[in-house]
Amino acid sequence: MYHVRVKPFADALRRVVPTYKPLRVALPVAVALVAVVATLVVRPLGSADSDPLVGIHKIQHVIIVMQENRSFDSYFGTYPGADGLPRTASGRFSSCVPSRAARRCFRPFHDRHDINNGGPHHPASAIADINGGRMNGFVNSVAAAQHGRFCRLHPDWPNCSIDPKHADVMGYHTAREIPNYWTYARHYVLQDHMFEPTLSWSLPSHLYAVSGWSASCSTTAAASCRTNLHLRDRGTPRPKGRVYQWTDLTYLLHKADVSWRYYIGLGRVPDCANGAIACRPRRQTITSHSIWNPLPQFTDVSQDGQLANVQSAQQYFDAASSGALPAVSWVIPNERNSEHPRSMISRGQEWVTRVVDAAMRSPDWNSTAIFVVWDDWGGFYDHVRPPRIDAAGYGLRVPGLVISPYARTGMVDHQTLSFDAYLKFIEDDFLAGQRLDPRTDGRPDPRPTVRENAKRLGNLVNDFNFAQAPQPPFLLSPCPTRYVFHAHCA
């Protein structure tokens, strides 16, 4: 008896011939090629090599779930075995961050609230918070932000009325407030040295997530692009008139006939368009060019005719249910589900759990890897000084989780990582190691660094054990009954 792996013809042939590119051939030739490939992907049931995919290539579906504005210490600072909040020999937190307004310093404290305020998170805030490696500018940054233009005009806006003597940026949460996140960490992999790829806020971070660079371009030529970590637009979430001319990952995926989707939660945009702590929210749609939806403004996406690959989050759930997940997915929430201050943590965790559960229930589960990450630190305290990779980053530390039937169990990964590691994993899995490298990718741009090749960047492959049998789904309730915020769940 024989088992046939039903795969798209192009994907199957590329496994055999990595340099394969789709060709238009006469029907008899095509039939002959299909027959050749069929002999290579048909294996007797029960034989030792019944699965022709090995190692990283057992992952046929990568899902990147990106949430909002949390530092590693704010979510996992007390997680056992992680590089968390430092303590003295007596068990007291050794960090004490000064406040000019209070004329004293503040130590980390257990924050039991479902809604947080956070702090400013634009490039100047990152530099101030890091403070030359002392990691002690967080509380003063909140006070400084309240002198901004928006807060001068709207002093009663929630984040504008924060008492800097009681800023919650020093707060941390535990399994009491985020039980599912801690459960995922125990059952799968927690990354405690995942850094935002850049010293900046949401838009630059999302640009790095899809392209390995954040820049502004003065003309329609990619040669005119220069690194830019600010990309401010005076409070509007739509980068008006901006077009991204450099190359993003979807260009390589499309060229190699690898499927991708960028799934957007419809609703409000979950962040200010300048990294501030307060602004009036705007709408987030599939077609709007917002800070969490940058791909429609990439020239190569339009030129490739791939704009329709930006879809609503509901289409992610439909694809998972029907076993039609693309090779690469980004899943982006709306404001309500984002965990961005002042959105509820409980609703963000509920959203992520539903996204993960959908993948676990999918026929695609046994070939899936889910990476959950938060786009920037949101002004919250973290004690680890970011490593310097180039002039743009890394930024501050954020939480990272790996969920997969092949993920190692209960592992804390101490490798130095950033979102560049996601690009590297996808390129190694689906593109035979092709990089977003202007010297080789066929679409040159003047990016200063090929981030995937940074020597300090770890390898996500180390978070997997591809020799083990795939783990069955580990479903969690989006609203666990013993959850302290159970009443807040939808």
**Which amino acid, 319?**
A
Are residues 63 and 120 part of one domain? Answer: no
For residue 346, tell me if it sits in a domain.
yes
**Ramachandran class of 187: left when φ > 0, alpha when ψ lies in -120 to 50, beta otherwise:** alpha
Is there a single domain that holds both residue 16 and residue 131?
no
Cα dihedral sign for 281, 372, 196, 425?
negative
Q: Which residue has the higher pLDDT, 109 or 146?
A: 109
pLDDT digits (tens, 9 = 90+) for 443-459: 999 999 999 999 999 99
Q: Are residues 404 and 369 in the same domain?
A: yes
Is residue 141 domain-shared with residue 193, that is, in the same domain? no
Q: Do 249 and 326 fall within a single domain?
A: yes
Radius of gyration, alpha carbons of the chain: 23
In this structure, the answer to whether residues 33 and 104 fall within a common structural domain is: no
Q: pLDDT class for 102, splitting at 50, 70, 90?
A: confident
- Express the helix, strand and coil content of the chain in percent, nearest 5 each: 35, 15, 50
**Same domain for 182 and 161:** no
The Cα–Cα gap between 186 and 121 comes to 30
Q: Are residues 134 and 213 in the same domain?
A: no
Task: Let me know if residue 128 belongs to a domain.
Answer: yes
Q: Name the nearest CA neighbour of 159 among 320, 25, 277, 331.
A: 277
**Closest CA relative to residue 355, chosen from 340, 370, 375, 345:** 370
DSSP letter for each residue of 270-290? SS-TTS-S-----EE-SSS--
Boundary residue ending a domain (104, 137, 171)? 171
- Per the structure, how many domains does the chain have? 3
Pull the structure tokens for residue 385. 């000084």
Q: What is the pLDDT of residues 209-230, one digit of tens each?
A: 999 999 999 888 999 999 999 8
User: What are the residue ranges of helices labelled H in 91-155?
Assistant: 123-130, 138-145, 149-153
User: Based on the domain organization, do 162 and 180 belong to the same domain?
Assistant: no
Same domain, 36 and 63: no
Q: What is the pLDDT of residue 161?
A: 67
Give the residue with greater pLDDT, 44 vs 438.
Answer: 438
Q: Which has the minimum average pLDDT: 154-158, 174-178, 266-270, 314-318?
A: 154-158
Residues 324 and 462 in one domain: yes
Last residue of a domain, one of 118, 151, 171: 171
Residues in a beta bridge with 167: none
What is the length of the chain? 490
The model carries a pTM of: 0.86
Q: What is the pLDDT of residue 480?
A: 80
* Domain presence at residue 80: no
According to DSSP, the β-strands at 104-106 and 97-99 are: antiparallel
The proportion of the chain whose per-residue pLDDT surpasses 70, expressed as a percent, equals 79
81 within some domain: no
Q: Which of 117, 150, 171 is the endpoint of a domain? A: 171
Characterize the bridge pairing of strands 2-4 and 189-195: unpaired
Kindly tell me the sign of the dihedral angle through the C-alpha atoms of 274, 277, 281, 284: positive
For residue 275, the model assigns a pLDDT of 57
Q: Is the pLDDT of residue 25 over 90?
A: no
Mean residue pLDDT of the chain comes to 86
Q: Is the same domain home to 290 and 311?
A: yes
3-state secondary structure of 484: coil
CA distance linking residue 474 with residue 188, whole number of Å: 10
pLDDT in tens, 46-94: 333 445 799 999 999 999 999 999 999 999 999 999 999 999 999 999 9
The answer to the question of residue 448 being in a domain is yes
Are 60 and 329 in contact by the 8 Å Cβ rule? The answer is: no
The answer to whether residue 85 is domain-embedded is no
Is the pLDDT confidence value at 172 over 90?
A: yes
- Residue 436 maps to which CATH number? 3.40.720
Which domain range does residue 297 map to? 58-74+175-488
Note whether residue 437 is domain-resident.
Answer: yes
**Is 79 domain-assigned?**
no
Say whether 202 sits in a helix, a strand or coil. Answer: helix
Q: Are 302 and 182 in contact (CB under 8 A)?
A: no
